[in-house]
Amino acid sequence: MKKRLLGKSGLEVSELGLGCMGLSYGYGPATEKHEAIKLIRAAFERGVTFFDTAEAYGPFTSEELLGEALAPIRDQVVIATKFGFRDGVASKGEDSRPERIRAVAEAALKRLRTGHIDLFYQHRVDASVPVEDVAGAVKDLIQQGKVRHFGMSEAGAQSIRRAHAVQKVTALQSEYSMWWREPETEILPLLEELGIGFVPFSPLGRGFLTGAINAGTSFDKNDFRNSVPRFSEQNRKDNQEFVQVLSRFAARKGATPAQIALAWLLAQKPWIVPIPGTTKLHRLEENVGAAAVELSADDLREIGTALATLTVHGDRYPPQLLARVGR
């Protein structure tokens, strides 16, 4: 797999990373530990060197899992994790006080079995803490050698610019895919201006763009998607148009819908690195295969024209979580 630089930071990663949230959190029961470690190591064997986690995934179990899985190859991979929720629990609300950031870093270093965190994201902007203080706290950790790079997640343009003035932001992680293109309006131009890399999570629309989800799909009772308006039964039915467009194009290219969706993201900017997550080896192999799918300028124009005729049905978060993004 080829490598990419996240903006102008010098941080080099595989052009596709692995989002590890779903192995421990968010989509139903956690994957059995042995199987999860096997999947993470299989990703590395297939060229993935960029692994994403957070203290809130579990909480804490995802970092522990990743630390154990990557310990034998720690010097060959880039690990990203996140701070920003009270006690590491997302439902308790944001907490990016500098003393909390320092405590999270120390705990994460132990769970990840490492001497440094390659990329340390603020998980969500905390309206009660000036973003300059957040950036300053991470800057101190960088100067101490405990963190290498600073990132932000789902932050708005003003917060990114203010933080970047204190400590250069290496990467922004936010949702971006064929059915959530809002970042193209203001965020992508800003990132290009400042030399910040972009790490799209949910690049396959939380699984929807694979074609494996339809109006009749039933999710585990603990699956986050049960609360997402976009995944209501009616919206799953109405949003099938996206899958139909992808499926038609994939058939012509000898690829799968998921591979076209990921290849499309890779083609948007050379500093974009999607992090699809999965719990299944065959899906991992499918996702990794997207790196070999070439989309020409004509292909991209055709896809763009088709997407412009479609309407996305349903919000990407329930109201209480929508309030946390874009600050």
Which residues have a catalytic role annotated? 57
Tally of residues, the chain: 327
Mapped onto helix, strand or coil, the DSSP state of residue 277 is strand
Contacts of 75 (CB under 8 A, 6+ apart): none
Encode 7-38: b = buried (16+ Cβ within 10 Å), e = exposed. bebebebbbbbbbbbbbbbbbbebbeeeebbe
Beta bridge partners of 5: 12
DSSP 43-107: HHHTT--EEE--TTTTTTHHHHHHHHHHGGGGGG-EEEEEE-BGGG-GGG-B---HHHHHHHHHH
